[in-house]
Amino acid sequence: MRFRLTDDQRALKSATRELLDRLRPPKALRADASGGAPRLDRVMWAALAEAGVFALRLPEDAGGVGLGAPEAVLVFEELGRALAPGPLVATHLAAGRVPGAATGETVVTRADGGLVAWLDEADVVDGGPAGPAESPAPGPGGRTAPGAGGLSGGPWGGPASGPGAQGAVPLRSVDPLTPLHRVPGPAADGPWDPAAALLTAAEQLGTAGRVTELAVRYAREREQFGRPVGSFQAVKHLCAGMLVRTELARAAVYAAAVTGDPAETAGAKLLADEAAVANARDCVQIHGGMGFTWEADVHLHLKRAWVRARSRPTADEAAETAALALAESAGESTGPPVPNQAL
């Protein structure tokens, strides 16, 4: 399988990064983080919609861009790298089903893992455990599979309404740029959405890559005992480990976007969560005392990575799904269905 990007894909990735550099400079991030309750930047939202972020996979005759899951993953990797705020995944997946989602006029959020992000700023709450479900068709081994291109509306793809957030109560979010509400009921009720998992993994990949860049740059600039700290073996090992985790996660996320396999998506989410969180922690360590201040953007990346890691599949769910798939591929019996089995 080849993961080398085409010229068009590289251009898409580059244009998205340039757009986000203009819309979300580091100064804006820190200002939002220290400005009290976060508010969704509707100007940024409209700019993202105009660039085609939400209509990326809609057919051209439906007003969309007509691209596929691999291109969506590249765009969401850049959104994660820039720490773009808002319910980006939910609105993207609602395009074509919820009027105004594709054009950015309607902000859509969804309940996921017992949490709802940006509830007060959203216009629509999509699906949810109490909403109408549209389960994907069973695939080999009884697993459910996402639709063509690896991204579908998923089992949460019912008409938009608000049942998924009934009784939601506000939480104090660890991420100052992601307001959260908790919904009543079990956090892991029913199958998780492979489409949302893949795009969230792409955002985690963006964070993993960005904090690696920040760590390497700081290690080159910061000097101790007359030498850059990056010349010390301990720091070199930390940076090398960050790069390995990032590239491993990148291969898994890109592969899942191409194959659309739910088990591979679970593995990609698991690796991307690990890369984002572990890399951000190592980046804080490389920054030393500086890493514990708000002057370092890595704080925001670490906290966003924690929040994304809570979205389904969680680490346990993803590991269980990947293990079942491996057992099936080896011809082993997986026994009776596991309660709350993800796929």
- In a domain, residue 140? The reply is no
Q: What is the DSSP string of 189-250?
A: -S---HHHHHHHHHHHHHHHHHHHHHHHHHHHH-EETTEEGGGSHHHHHHHHHHHHHHHHHH
Q: Are residues 303 and 224 in the same domain?
A: yes
Regarding whether 253 and 220 lie in a shared domain, the answer is yes
Task: Give the separation between CA 323 and CA 329, rounded to whole angstroms.
Answer: 10
Do 307 and 283 reside in the same domain of the chain? yes
Give pLDDT, residue 127.
65
The pLDDT score that the predictor gives to residue 139 is 35
- The Cα–Cα gap between 231 and 252 comes to 31
Residues 70 and 125 grouped into a single domain = yes
Instruction: Specify if 151 maps to a domain.
Output: no
C-alpha torsion 118→59→198→190, nearest 10: 70
pLDDT at 163: 52
188 located within any domain: no
Whether residue 304 is found in the same domain as residue 202:
yes
Q: What is the mean pLDDT of each run of 10 residues along the chain (343 residues)?
A: 85 96 83 80 95 95 93 98 96 95 95 90 74 36 35 40 70 92 77 95 98 96 93 96 98 95 96 98 93 84 96 94 88 55 35
Q: Considering the domain boundaries, does residue 136 fall inside one?
A: no
Asked whether residue 137 is assigned to any structural domain, the reply reads no
Could you tell me if residue 1 is inside a domain? Answer: no
Residues 6 or more apart from 42 whose CB is under 8 A from it? none
Pairwise CA distance, residues 160 & 127, whole Å? 6
Q: Are residues 168 and 268 in the same domain?
A: no
Give me the number of domains the chain comprises: 2
Residue 214 in domain? yes
Query: What pLDDT was estimated at residue 32?
Result: 80
| Helix (DSSP H) and strand (DSSP E) numbers for the chain | 10, 8
* Rg, Å, the chain Cα set: 20
Tell me, yes or no, whether 71 and 18 share the same domain. yes
Cα three-residue angle 55-106-304, rounded to 5 degrees: 80
Q: Are 89 and 218 part of one and the same domain? A: no
Same-domain status, 117 and 44:
yes
Please report the pLDDT score of residue 2 as a whole number: 66
Q: What is the CATH number of the domain that holds 282?
A: 1.20.140.10
In a domain? residue 336: no
Distance CA 320, CA 255 (A): 19
Do 168 and 242 fall within a single domain?
Answer: no
In the block, residue with structure tokens 């596929």 = 68
10 is written with which tokens?
């590289």
- The pLDDT of residue 218 is 95
Q: What pTM does this model have?
A: 0.86
27 lies in the same domain as 119: yes
On whether the CB atoms of residues 220 and 243 are closer than 8 A, the answer is no
Q: Determine the structural domain holding residue 285 and report its residue range.
A: 194-328
CATH number, residue 70 = 1.10.540.10
Tell me: do 75 and 176 sit in the same domain.
yes
